[in-house]
Amino acid sequence: MKLATKYIHAGAHPDPSTGAIMTPIYQTSTYVQSAPGVHQGYEYARSQNPTRFALEEAFAVIENGKFGLAFASGVAATDAVMRLLVPGDEVIAAHDMYGGSFRLFSKVHEKMGIKFIYVDTSNATNVEKAMTPATKLIWLETPTNPLMNISDIEAISTIGKKHNCMVCVDNTFASPYLQNPLDFGATIVMHSATKYLGGHSDVIQGCLVMNDQALRDQLYFIQKSTGAVPGPQDCFLVLRGIKTLHVRMQRHCENGIKVANYLRQNPKVGKVYWCGFEDHPNHDIAKKQMRGFGGMMSFTLKEDSLAAATKVLSSTKIFSLAESLGGVESLINHPASMTHASIPREQRITNGLSDGLIRLSVGIEDADDLMADLAQAIG
């Protein structure tokens, strides 16, 4: 089945009690039993909810996986994966990644005895070199937030398999429309569904997708035991978002190409970070594992300073200055003070994330209006 058809029908079954074509929002905490232990498969809504189950099926379908699990946020989904580990286990993680993942690893799970080794995963050899017998998980983000570095999912999954080590890919930036990590051998895919899957900046949610039944059972146990489940209304919103993922992503990609090329020829702009450029250091890998390059990009001004960046960040009229990404509307963000403020400055600078870096989530408005807005803000 082609993507467009899959996205519209993923997880959708007429409601058994009425035939409603859209899965109802089952706003209930519990289910009546006719005798003790005699029920219809639903006991208590932290463990079972039909709206959530429909969405979890949709997550599996759109990521070419067997099982999907929904969480109250992207970081709750990440946290659930970390809870598979025990003290003494080691995780190899990308040195350039979402600040909230770094905070969760360094401030919450390190205290629990998990060791994190941060490497530049855009070179698979670095991952191979960092492997030890204690390495149980490789945590990848590709493209990375905010520097758009690309890691080779297939090469790193092969390394993981050789060492009996799981590989989890945070696929938030690409979305399932552009990239399906399980197809390249990854063990788990994670999304912040808050972003492209929801697509309308009106919900916080996360998900995991995997193929292995035993792993699914372990993660389902963690989901119900720790309780970070999304409510049915939020599940409904993400189910609705997924139905238009393909049309939104097509436009994000078209607008992304136009805005990236516009920025590159602007004489006041310094470096543009976007994996669609042929001279991007890992463009070939991006082309191999992605169907397009999306609407996420970052750039610096020639005058790479906080003051110059602040002027642009405060002057756009269509791009709203806000954290988050992946909604229909365009956003502009300052990673150093906003999304990535939880990473110490020295480490940020070493990783190439300067104080002047500006990140764009190019939305699906008219591309000419977006370029005109950037032109007036850059001045």
Residue numbers annotated as active site: 46, 98, 170, 195
In the complex, residue closest to ligand PLP by CB: 74
The pairing of strands 166-170 and 296-301 is unpaired
| Widest distance between CA atoms in the chain | 74
173 counts as binding ligand PLP under rule CB under 6 A: yes
The pair of three-digit structure tokens given for residue 324, joined into one six-digit string = 């988050």
Residue 365 CB, nearest distance to ligand PLP (Å)? 21
First and final C-alpha spacing in the chain: 47
Residue keyed to tokens 């390190």: 110
Please state, in angstroms and rounded to a whole number, the distance separating the CA atoms of residues 296 and 359.
Answer: 8
Q: Out of 151, 157, 192, 333, point to the residue binding ligand PLP (CB under 6 A).
A: 192
131 counts as binding ligand PLP under rule CB under 6 A: no
Residue 335 CB, nearest distance to ligand PLP (Å)? 11
Q: Which helix (H) or strand (E) holds 90?
A: strand 90-94
Q: Out of 11, 50, 68, 100, point to the residue binding ligand PLP (CB under 6 A).
A: 100
Number of residues that bind ligand PLP (CB under 6 A): 16
179 counts as binding ligand PLP under rule CB under 6 A: no
74 counts as binding ligand PLP under rule CB under 6 A: yes
Q: Which residues, 194 to 213, sit near ligand PLP by CB under 6 A?
A: 194-195, 204, 206
262 counts as binding ligand PLP under rule CB under 6 A: no
Q: What is the DSSP string of 220-267?
A: HHHHHHH--PPPHHHHHHHHHHHTTHHHHHHHHHHHHHHHHHHHHH-T
Phi, psi of 280 (to 5 degrees): -60, 135
Nearer of residues 170 and 269 to ligand PLP, judged by Cβ? 170
Q: Would you call the peptide bond into 146 cis, given omega within 30 degrees of 0 as the criterion?
A: yes
98 counts as binding ligand PLP under rule CB under 6 A: yes
355 counts as binding ligand PLP under rule CB under 6 A: no
Q: Which stretch binds ligand PLP (CB under 6 A): 179-187, 189-197, 273-281, 309-317?
A: 189-197
Please state, in angstroms and rounded to a whole number, the distance separating the CA atoms of residues 11 and 29.
Answer: 22
Q: In what order do the strands lie in the sheet with 296-301?
A: 269-273, 296-301, 358-361, 331-333, 320-321
Per CB under 6 A, residues contacting ligand PLP are 73-75, 98, 100-101, 141, 145, 170, 172-173, 192, 194-195, 204, 206
